[in-house]
Amino acid sequence: MYSPKIIPELIPKLYRKAKERGIPMTRLVNEILTDNLKDESTPAPENFEKIAEGVVHLNFVNQSKAV
């Protein structure tokens, strides 16, 4: 599966916004993407949020190991 990278400079902003709202970063990113892509004709799969959380977690783990 394709796993796009989030621009590193956006991570702290997303983290703070998610903390302010009391939700996981993946949920925030999913909401932002859903709102901005709402005019697209292809619906997201039912398990999209769970898949996205796993992808973000894997990317975070991989980035943490690289440091």
pLDDT in tens, 6-54: 899 999 999 999 999 999 999 999 999 999 888 877 666 666 666 655 5
Average pLDDT over residues 53-58: 56
Confidence class for position 67, pLDDT limits 50, 70, 90: very low
SS3 annotation, 4-61: CCCCCCHHHHHHHHHHHHCCCHHHHHHHHHHHHCCCCCCCCCCCHHHHHHHHHHHHHH
Looking up tokens 């009391």 gives 22
In a domain, 4, yes or no: yes
In a domain, 51, yes or no: no
> Which token pair is 60?
């975070």
Residue 10, domain extent: 1-34+56-67
What is the tally of structural domains in the chain?
Answer: 1
In a domain, 61, yes or no: yes
In a domain, 46, yes or no: no
For the entire predicted model, the pTM comes to 0.56
In a domain, 67, yes or no: yes
Give the residue from 3, 9, 2 showing the smallest Cα distance to 59: 3
In a domain, 50, yes or no: no
